[in-house]
């Protein structure tokens, strides 16, 4: 499942009956800059939105999938039991999406670290400094 973060935030604002990102930030106890960062980086704290919705009784299906009534078949990842209640299924799907997002972040971090390690191994000055540091 791929989340369009802008659509999600806009749908979330509509559902909780607010109009601006500033109001959204206030509702979530965040700074306005955090919402701007989410939009620019195309990321959202899904856990925060899920907690907000659960605490206040908003329908997670509506928040994450809109008015699409066919979300179950399209968005149930393999391995998630279908005999769970609707809310349990929604929470499991969201947990799965959060895990996918975290795995992608880890993959990007590993790529960055590998790139840095390559730079270090290609730079004789850094290689020598690291060798000296390990001896002391």
The domain in which residue 77 lies consists of: 5-135
Say how far apart CA 97 and CA 83 lie, in whole Å.
19
Which pLDDT tens digit goes with each residue over 57-97?
A: 888 778 887 765 444 444 444 444 555 567 777 777 788 78
What are the tens digits of pLDDT across the range 6-65?
A: 888 999 999 999 999 999 999 999 999 999 999 998 888 888 888 888 888 888 778 887
User: Strands, DSSP E only, in the chain?
Assistant: none
User: Could you tell me where the DSSP H helices lie in 28-70?
Assistant: 32-41, 46-56, 60-65
CA-derived radius of gyration, the chain: 21
Residue 107 has pLDDT above 60, yes or no: yes
Closest among 106, 10, 100, 104 to 49, alpha carbons compared: 10
Query: What pLDDT, on a 0 to 100 scale, did the predictor assign at position 103?
Result: 80
- How far apart CA 125 and CA 56 sit, in angstroms, is 57
How many separate domains does the chain show?
1
Q: Are 13 and 24 contacting, i.e. CB atoms less than 8 angstroms apart?
A: yes
What is the four-CA torsion angle of 12, 14, 20, 23, rounded to 10 degrees? -70
Structure token digits, residue 41? 């980086």
CB 38 within 8 A of CB 46: no
Determine the pLDDT at residue 33. 93
């Amino acid at each position: 499942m791929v989340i369009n973060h802008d659509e999600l935030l806009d749908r979330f604002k509509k559902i909780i009956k607010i109009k601006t990102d500033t109001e959204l930030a206030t509702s979530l106890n965040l700074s306005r800059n955090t919402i701007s960062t989410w939009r620019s980086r195309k990321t959202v704290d899904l856990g925060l939105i899920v907690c907000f919705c659960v605490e206040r009784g908003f329908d997670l299906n509506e928040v994450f999938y809109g008015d699409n009534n066919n979300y179950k078949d399209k968005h149930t990842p393999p391995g998630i039991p279908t005999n769970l209640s609707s809310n349990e299924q929604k929470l499991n799907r969201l947990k799965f999406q959060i895990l996918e997002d975290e795995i992608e972040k880890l993959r990007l971090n590993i790529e960055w670290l590998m790139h840095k390690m390559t730079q270090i191994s290609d730079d004789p000055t850094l290689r020598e400094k690291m060798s000296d540091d390990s001896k002391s």
